[in-house]
Amino acid sequence: MQTHEEERVTSSKVQKNSTTLTSKQKQTVEKTVQLVKDTLGEEASGHDYFHIMRVRALAVRLAEEEGADVYVAELAALLHDIADWKFHGGDLSVGPRVASEWLQSLGESKETIDRVAVIIKEVSYKGAGVTTTPESLEGKVVQDADRLDALGAIGIARTFAYGGKFERQMYDPDQPPVMHQTFEEYKKAKGTTLNHFYEKIFLLKDRLNTDSARALAEERHKYVEEFVERFLQEWEGKK
Ligand SMILES: [Fe+2]
């Protein structure tokens, strides 16, 4: 139960940035949603249009709670996987470039374009031993939103969808997880889907940037842990 003081802090936090977008900004958001739908609509590895919509909703929520620029966070969330390195030969520069060109074509300001491009470059997970903390508060909330979508029931479903798409084995007890120390190692990794939980998913809750995201992550993390535990028990015929 929250005390009065906590309630007051929470509600002032929520109201900290109740920005209303201008009609031009709304248009940019709408057109970007359409671009995402056209580009990622059919994607089947868990990085599809609906992943983007979930991340967008979480990013807007976290941006409001944390007092970040909602417009920049929303645009960056919408564009964060528009040309991800995973699907472009490991090239980290394609996403920011595609996003910048798109926003330029809509007449967006250079300042906003640059802020969004930096966030897109910073947000993705690059391995267990690689720390990537975005510089801006907007980057921090977008990274948190993206990571929250890798947790919980949806996170489990996405992990298996991704493994299937890239022909990863579901599980092999003889293959231990590998804690990738560099982005190069992580990019080349071909481990099993179950190992991905140890190599990435279980590490996420301690790598979140904001308290608002940490609060949401707790239950999602626990749910994934229970799932993996159960999976291993069934694997050995114990359940
Ligand atoms: Fe993503």
Residue 15 lies in a domain: no
- Amino acid at position 109, single letter: S
Q: Give the distance (Å) from ligand 1 centre to CA of residue 82.
A: 9
pLDDT interval class at 36 (50, 70, 90): very high
Q: Give the distance (Å) from ligand 1 centre to CA of residue 130.
A: 17
Tens of pLDDT along 91-141? 778 899 999 999 999 999 999 999 999 999 988 767 667 778 999 999 999
Q: How far apart are CA 125 and CA 129, in angstroms?
A: 10
Residue 62 predicted with pLDDT over 80: yes
Report how many domains make up the chain.
Answer: 1
How large is the C-alpha radius of gyration of the chain? Answer: 19
Closest CA to 78 of 156, 145, 159: 145
Residue 229 lies in a domain: yes
Q: How many CA atoms lie within 13 A of 156 on its CB side?
A: 14
User: Which residue range(s) make up the domain with 139?
Assistant: 22-235
Residue 34 lies in a domain: yes
Residue 137 lies in a domain: yes
Q: Give the distance (Å) from ligand 1 centre to CA of residue 165.
A: 16
- The model carries a pTM of 0.86
Residue 17 lies in a domain: no
**Dihedral pair phi/psi, residue 47, rounded to 5°:** -115, 35
Residue 194 lies in a domain: yes
Average of per-residue pLDDT across 56-63? 97
Q: Give the distance (Å) from ligand 1 centre to CA of residue 3.
A: 36
186: domain CATH number? Answer: 1.10.3210.10
Q: What is the pLDDT of residue 186?
A: 73
